[in-house]
Structure 1
Amino acid sequence: MILGVTVGKFYPFHKGHDYLIREAKKKVDHLIVLACYKTNQAVAGTVRADWIRFLHPDAEVIEVLDDLPESPEPWAQRTLEVLSGRKPDIAFTSEDYGEPWAKLMGAQHCGVDRERLKFPISGTQLRSHLTEHWQMLTPPAKAYFAKRVCVLGVESSGTTTLARSLAQHYQTAWVPEYGRCYWEGRQYSPDPEIWDSYEFVEIAKKQAAIEDDIATRANKVVICDTDSLATCIWHKRYLGSEHPTLQQIADSRRCDLYILTQPDFGFVQDGTRESEHLRMIMHQWFVEVLQQKGKRYITVGGTHELRMSEALRAIDSLLVFEPLKELE
């Protein structure tokens, strides 16, 4: 079996790194990726290692503490220690240290795109100017860094229309409402008016999973048409109480901005809506939960153009990515 090894910080994991790993896998039976980290880096080593595992589940990813001098000798020794007796046949890098590092381990060196012709990018460039080089990030890194914006509100208040329009404006991904799909799927079943808490828990979980999947396509921001916080409100509407598991799911999620749509126009029946009589009460519930949890939010109303203008102003202020620095 031909064993390969490569090493890097993957801080952040970009397309050049991904290309290196893909090329390496073509030449070996098994590839080990050493993901180096320092404890004071802004993105944890485990997170960066998981980015690699997401795209390369067939590679073995090992997290390694970066506490050695930047010299081939100690890193060759550390690599052999981490591999626990497995001697690599080929070491893959795109760096000058690759040749001596490989030689010290008794391995052949294979350089991959040292001149950065395939993907002209480096981790240093991305850490300094994330916005400028966004498209060089790999999908899981995009999902991690992308700002999350959630449009939420009561029935017939324009949430989906606004979410779609915002996604189109930013040329980015948007997350449809899973709960609506679930409701449409169950509406002809026996007693469709009777709900159980487990249904809302599953809706919240799936909504979160879909959001995380689609976020890999984000162009700096991902627009969500509802989220698990809204699912908590709908549980209260149908079952008359809060639910601890739903609250836990909602509290575990990240959202950088909520946009609450006002029900300030006539109710439009689309064949599935059934809460017209509760519109204003539920709208107040949304306001209360956003305030109680200290969420950053704005309320938009009026014409679609006015809603868009207010939403764009708030989102644009979010799309400022600070350089990635080591923490104190």
Structure 2
Amino acid sequence: MSIGLLMGRFEPLHLGHLQDINIAAGRCDTLHIIVTPSEHQYHTQTLQDKARWVQVACEYFDFIKVHTSDSLELPVTGDYVQGDLPDESMIQQVLAKVATDSADADVITFIKKDTDGKSALVTNEYDKLDIGANPILYFDKLAPSAKSDHVQTVCIVGGESSGKTTLVHKLANHYGATVALEMGRLYTHSDLGGTEVGLQYVDYTAIAVNHARAILDAKKHATAPIVLVDTDFVTTQAFCEEYEGRTHPVVTALADEMCMDHTIYLDNNVKWVADGMRRLGSQKQRSQFATRLLTVLERHGISPYMIDDDDYHQRYLQAVRYIDDHVLRLTHDSVQ
């Protein structure tokens, strides 16, 4: 019987790691993967996050067992890619924890090394990329199980008839991104018969919870480094306060717990378009709601990027430039 040990930080888990896991698993009967702590403060994911990525990727392989240094209650550090594995004493302690029948086993501790031998995992194309320092740039190289924790949410907010939904779909087409649609509008059609005449305070729980599910689903199935979100919980709260005269605790909780990574605010300085659902059409109403929305954004500590150009195409171009520069950190300007 042969036992393999693969100790790594997996920050983040990428396709190169998965190739190494496949190769290592093919060289032993049982492969034990030990996920070790981060050595960089800029990595915000927890040890459990990293273990989940690996576990999900290896879910259907009963010959692969995933552990964390915490679950073993051992101060295991090091990373097989960097070649800085723990000393022999610690390796023996790990073995004693993960494989009680290791006394007569052939033990292989895998390491990244361009040499022959069962323990050597030869350098692949992914090792030459600084994926850990910029996972957004290398989003297509990430393991599918890790993508949802690295995708950036970009939310478009603003008052009624400010062009939010149209801009969201333009940006989705531009970046090939998934979208979380405005849930209030969907809920009005699915549960209220297509108008807001029956909308009341209790409906905001369903609207907010369904929106949270839609955002998580869009992140889980992300096709690009960003997910576009049409209207956030803060905007839903602002509408609740405007229509019902009070805040909603469920909406407040979700606004705090699921804060978007980036928020773009569209000024209400474009033409009002009546669609049979919108109610705040007068200049006074639009101005009043804009003030309320900005107040609620400030209450939740959100400082949005402001777009106040009254030309729709210029709004689109400004949004693209912001996303390229501040989210994706690209250096080109290819849209005119």
TM-score range, shorter chain: 0.7 to 0.9
Do the aligned partners of residues 173 and 235 (structure 1) sit closer, same or farther apart at CA in structure 2, a change above 3 Å counting? Answer: same
User: Hey, what's the Cα distance between the residues in 2 that align with 1:262 and 1:269?
Assistant: 17
1:204 aligns with 2:204: no
Unaligned runs of 5+ in 1: 101-108, 322-328
Cα distance in 2, alignment partners of residues 233 and 190 from structure 1 = 19
* 1:49 and 2:51 are equivalent in the alignment: yes
Question: What residue is the counterpart of 1:310 in the other structure?
Answer: 318
Structure 2 counterpart of 1:80, which letter?
L
**Once the two structures are superposed, what CA deviation does each residue of 1:103-148 show, in whole Å capped at 9, x if it has no partner?**
xxxxxx5877x342xxx20286212454553321123433333332
Give the C-alpha shift of residue 99 in structure 1.
9.3
Distance change (3 Å), C-alpha of 1:281 and 1:146 = same
Deviations 1:240-296 (A, max 9, x none): 211233212111223233212223233323344344354332222111122333322
Equivalent positions of 1:226-305 (< 5 A) are 226-276=231-281, 278-301=285-308, 302-305=310-313
1:309 partner SS: helix
Name the residue aligned to 1:79.
Answer: 94
Instruction: Please tell me whether the aligned partners of residues 192 and 199 of structure 2 are also in contact (alpha carbons under 8 angstroms).
Output: no
Give the match for residue 70 of structure 1.
Answer: 85
User: What secondary structure, in the 3-state scheme, does the structure 2 residue paired with 1:127 have?
Assistant: coil
Higher-RCO chain (CA-CA 8 Å, sequence separation at least 6): 1
Report % sequence identity.
23
Alignment-derived partner of residue 218 in structure 2: 214
Partner SS, residue 36 of structure 2: strand
Distance 2:194 2:321 in 1: 44
Alpha-carbon RMSD: 3.7
CA–CA separation in structure 2 for the residues paired with 1:36 and 1:123? 21
Name structure 2 gaps, 5 residues minimum: 70-74, 79-83, 330-336
What CA deviation, in whole Å up to 9, does each residue of 1:177-203 have, x standing for no partner? 233222211123999614243x32333
TM-score by length of 1: 0.76
Equivalenced residue count is 308
Give the deviation of 1:30 after TM superposition: 7.4
- Partner residue in 1 for 2:81: none
**Alignment match, 1:169:** 174
Query: CA 1:49/1:156 → structure 2, altered by over 3 Å: closer, same or farther?
Result: same
- Aligned CA distance change for structure 1 residues 213 and 89 (closer, same or farther; 3 Å): farther
Structure 1 residues 24-54: Cα deviation after superposition (integer angstroms, max 9, x where no partner) = 7789997643211146543232222232244
Structure number having the greater helix percentage: 1
Per the alignment, residue 11 of structure 2 pairs with 11
